[in-house]
Structure 1
Amino acid sequence: MKGKFYGVGVGSGDPELLTIKALRVMKECEVIAIASSKEYIEKPIIINFDEQAEYEAALQDCVAYQIALEAIPELKEKELLLLPMPMIKDMQKLKLIHEADAIKVIENLKKGKSVAFITLGDPTVYSTVLYVHKHLQDKNYETHLIPGVPSFCSAAARLNIGLVENREELHILPASYEIEQELRLPGTKILMKTGKQLAKVKQLLKNENYQVEMVENCGMKNEKIYRTIDDIPETTGYYSLMIIKEAKE
């Protein structure tokens, strides 16, 4: 019998926000797959418990794994599948890498092992899980997506604000691409992963009539909250999420 593939969202940073279903699935799966953007991780690697020290840097760098590990310490005793997911925009190269990742997952599924590919936030929102998930669906493997609390919902809760009310619109925007036109959309704008583009984004927003707040590393030990555009520094970490609202008259 073939194993099952699960894309599991672990939430935005606080282990207490993990769902009961996510906890159950991770405990039940024989293999935990995690993504790595480390340059030296060039191909999928199976890591057994006694080999983890060799890949400690890559494991520490995986925020989703560290969140899950805090909630389920026994995860470190499971077989881990390290999947390369470099932060590049070469679509052809990425396609080949994602195919290789999917092939390695399939090897485990064919052995009857179920695989939980864990991801920060929710697996349906800008998630690396989806690249493998689509390959497996195309080959008719059984796949499931386990939702997690999205980062923008967690950030709004930490700021103690609502995102939208009544007929307001909500727009989720990846800040690593051109967003000048999208910033003029009505309603609330969410800029995800603003870290590298922060100086540019600040410049675009400074002369506009917006209410801007930001959370860096939401739910994590090094979380920081910024209440105005002037409070936000020129550079922040990768996991920085900005909430932009039209200023009240």
Structure 2
Amino acid sequence: MKGTLYGVGIGPGDPELLTLKAVRLIRENEVIALPGEDPKETVAYKISVQAVPELADKTLLALAMPMTKDKKILKENYDRAADRVAEILDQGKNVVFLTLGDPTVYSTYMYVHQRLEAKGYPVVIVSGITSFCAVAARMNMSLVERSEPLHVIPASYQIEEALKLPGTKVLMKAGKQMKYVQEQVKDFGKNAVMIENCGMPDEKIYASGEEIPESAGYYSLIIVKEEGKE
């Protein structure tokens, strides 16, 4: 009997935001997969081990996930990661893959999930608290009200047109494009906020568009409210 792959969202950074289900799955299973070459140095491990100290004694499976847009390199790594997980599942063992936020939102986990599901392996997604919900909560603000739409946008691509959309815009994964993103949102003033490393010890809050810096860490998220609304 083949094991099951669990894609487990661990939330945005605060270990207290792990769900009870995430904690249970980590405790109940021996093999824990983490996206990185050194599992114990990954952000996902450092967050999760605070909530589940038993994680330190688990069998950790390192899955390299390079930060690149090169499709060939990405495909090679996703294929390799899926093959490594399959080896464990073929032994009848479950694999719990830990990923920040929620597995369904811009998560590299899904590329492994899709490959193994296509091969007939049992796969399960376990929701986690999304970064944009956590940022809104940290800022004591609502994301959307009444009939307002919500747009989740990968900020490393062209965003000029996206910022013209009605409702609330969530800008994620700006990365090296932060200066460009900052230039695009600075005119929104109090209608734009950003948190870097939400829920982590080195969290930084930028309460307006004017405060957003030209450079910031990878785990930075911007919320832009519709003009004239807070």
Q: How does the TM-score come out when normalised to structure 2? A: 0.95
Q: Are the aligned partners of 1:34 and 1:118 in contact in 2 as well (CA < 8 Å)? A: yes
Q: How many angstroms apart in 2 are the aligned matches of 1:30 and 1:112?
A: 12
Tell me whether 1:78 sits opposite 2:58 in the alignment: yes
Say if 1:139 and 1:109 are closer, same or farther in 2 by CA, change over 3 A. Answer: same
* Alignment partner, residue 16 of structure 1: 16
Q: How many angstroms apart in 2 are the aligned matches of 1:117 and 1:21?
A: 13
Q: Specify every segment of 5 or more residues in structure 1 that has no aligned partner in the other structure, as ranges.
A: 42-54
Tell me whether 1:188 sits opposite 2:168 in the alignment: yes
Q: How many angstroms apart in 1 are the aligned matches of 2:45 and 2:220?
A: 19
Tell me whether 1:136 sits opposite 2:111 in the alignment: no
Please list, as runs of the form range in 1=range in 2, the aligned pairs for 1:79-158 lying within 5 A after superposition.
79-158=59-138
Tell me whether 1:222 sits opposite 2:202 in the alignment: yes
User: What are the superposed Cα offsets for residues 84-112 of structure 1, whole Å, 9 maximum, x if unpaired?
Assistant: 10011111221121111101100000111
Secondary structure at the aligned position of 1:190 is classed as strand
Amino acid corresponding to residue 33 of structure 2 in structure 1: A
Q: How many residues align?
A: 229
1:211 to partner: Cα distance:
0.8
Task: Give % identity.
Answer: 53
Secondary structure at the aligned position of 2:191 is classed as strand
Say if 1:209 and 1:15 are closer, same or farther in 2 by CA, change over 3 A. Answer: closer
Secondary structure at the aligned position of 1:3 is classed as coil
Q: Specify every segment of 5 or more residues in structure 2 that has no aligned partner in the other structure, as ranges.
A: none
User: What are the superposed Cα offsets for residues 112-156 of structure 1, whole Å, 9 maximum, x if unpaired?
Assistant: 110000000000000011010001100010000000000000000
Q: How many angstroms apart in 1 are the aligned matches of 2:139 and 2:188?
A: 21
Tell me whether 1:7 sits opposite 2:23 in the alignment: no
Root mean square deviation of aligned Cα: 1.4
1:208 to partner: Cα distance:
5.1
* Alignment partner, residue 59 of structure 1: 40
Which residue, 146, 171, 174 being the options, matches 1:166? 146
Q: How does the TM-score come out when normalised to structure 1? A: 0.88
Q: Are the aligned partners of 2:10 and 2:101 in contact in 1 as well (CA < 8 Å)? A: yes
* Alignment partner, residue 26 of structure 1: 26
Q: Are the aligned partners of 1:209 and 1:247 in contact in 2 as well (CA < 8 Å)? A: no
**Runs ≥4 in structure 1, deviation > 6 angstroms?**
none
